[in-house]
Structure 1
């Protein structure tokens, strides 16, 4: 297995019309979750990815598991809960630059994950373990599960990729900050945004943030700058990699997950860091052009075409 992810995926309902959701009469149903988004993104780029989670014994859980499996992701470690339901969330596209998200996930099946649900042998076979700051926010048992997964990865020399993916609605700021900093200290690679870095360290200068994350324990830091691209930091190198211009952003949700998938894909292919970050920027740009969390994730030929013609606009 190339990469294993752990986290909750939910049923996503989006109004067929823009504006305030109170006026919506019809909704489309899709699926979305940061970790499964990354796994699907990696699968589309030709890598082996596995997703660890828990779903309800309901139609949503069955449909979700079938969908993710159909995208080529291994779902053998997904547990079906007899007692809790699959989580749900709504995406409200009020305007092109104002997309709001509402979660109905308290007490969901995934929030009942425990460290006993992990198979050490399964994680040990991976090259990378991808985790986010969302999963430990779901419950104390989920936090314990993430810490146990990290411990397993370290025992077996599995590289840990951490995307803070801050969700303030899920927990108190103090608990979020302490947990994110603790996980960051254990990660090999960190993929934060500037706002997340500011939340964690109280610093907004990108260069200072890169240094702070390195001092905190990571060996590689890739700081996301949105449309401007990203800056990566190691103890020996710092470099800005420009983003890809997009004429019209349709849906920005999921772009960070696409970025993570693109970057990890580059590492798996043995690319130099600057080229891995360039691939990450390209995948993130693709995601913003399509409504939905995973619908815009590109396949390898699309990314290679974009990168080879990087002087052209993504929306060509």
Structure 2
């Protein structure tokens, strides 16, 4: 769908550009060859982020490319149900991408991606809605788009160009995927985008790809900020995070949980931080919401289903297990 280039007053506060795929998730533990039941849904870093952000009360548009098929219809239905505006090009030739999650053991999963040459990898500059980005408060992109294909990288870079030209803030999550490219090539691309971002998020290994190894993750955050962003947050999983924001260093512990599925936790973390950043909250509140949303994402199977609504953020600290 598209919006009129003028006369609109309800532009989404945040725009995110990237790949969303259909998802098949095994219900049973064990090799996929023996599984007899599975669930069908969607997954993708940018749409995970969008769901988490929308549940926290921020209006958001997801921009991407889907096949003109039933898998694409499923994704659009899910996004609409979450209140997310989808600006989706429907590719008449290539299918919607697919990923399959295998629960190999009770504590380990494998993810198989079927994305080569699919609709998402054919995302291009013309698919990016200039007015949406220009009117947004923040644009969010990830390293997945940079590594997915030349055209997808160009689309993400074009969105950043529009943001820079119009005073829209840029949030960048490095989000490295080894199946897409090598660490050396990714690191160079990451550095270029970090230079153009206002907010940068990375795991410690991802940050090291961009700025070199360090003994302390705080050093990684400091080095990322030396490229230009005002804030660099290094995600440390169960150890929480460290951050360098406006020249000051912060540390935040994770919210302790028993994880069921950690996929999507990093996307939720970023959404939690961005939501509070846009609300003008202090840094401690931003980081606390970030680790809380990340923890919620780990508590259910699926990439985005566990993302909390704002009125649920206190549940993990509740003394009583039943709310009445």
If the length of structure 1 is used for normalisation, what is the TM-score?
0.94
Residue of 22, 29, 33 corresponding to 1:22: 33
**2:237: which partner in 1?**
226
Equivalent residue, structure 2, for 1:116: 126
Corresponding residue of 2:223: 212
Aligned residues, how many? 311
Structure 1 unaligned segments of length 5 or more: list them: none
| 2-structure distance, mates of 1:314, 1:10 | 35
Please give the alpha-carbon distance, in whole angstroms, between the structure 2 residues aligned to 1:84 and 1:58.
9
> Cα deviations across residues 104-148 of structure 1 (Å, max 9, x unaligned)?
000111111111222211111101101100012111011111111
Contact conserved, 2:175 with 2:206, CA < 8 A, in 1? yes
Aligned residue runs from structure 1 range 169-184, under 5 A = 169-184=179-194
Alpha-carbon distance change, 34 to 93 in structure 1, aligned in 2, over 3 angstroms: same
1:146-295 alignment to 2 at 5 Å? 146-204=156-214, 205-246=216-257, 248-295=258-305
**Residue pair 2:184, 2:209 contacting (<8 A) in 1 also:** no
Q: Distance in 2 between matches of 1:315 and 1:250?
A: 20
Q: CA RMSD in A?
A: 1.8
Counterpart CA distance in 2 for 1:146 and 1:34 is 14
SS of 2:83's equivalent? coil
2:5 corresponds to which residue? none
| Secondary structure in 1 matching 2:99 | strand
Q: TM-score, normalised by structure 2?
A: 0.92
Specify the alignment match of 1:92 in structure 2.
Answer: 102
Counterpart CA distance in 2 for 1:165 and 1:172 is 13
Cα displacement string for residues 36-87 of structure 1 (whole angstroms, at most 9, x for unaligned residues): 1111111111110000001000000011111111110001x21111011000
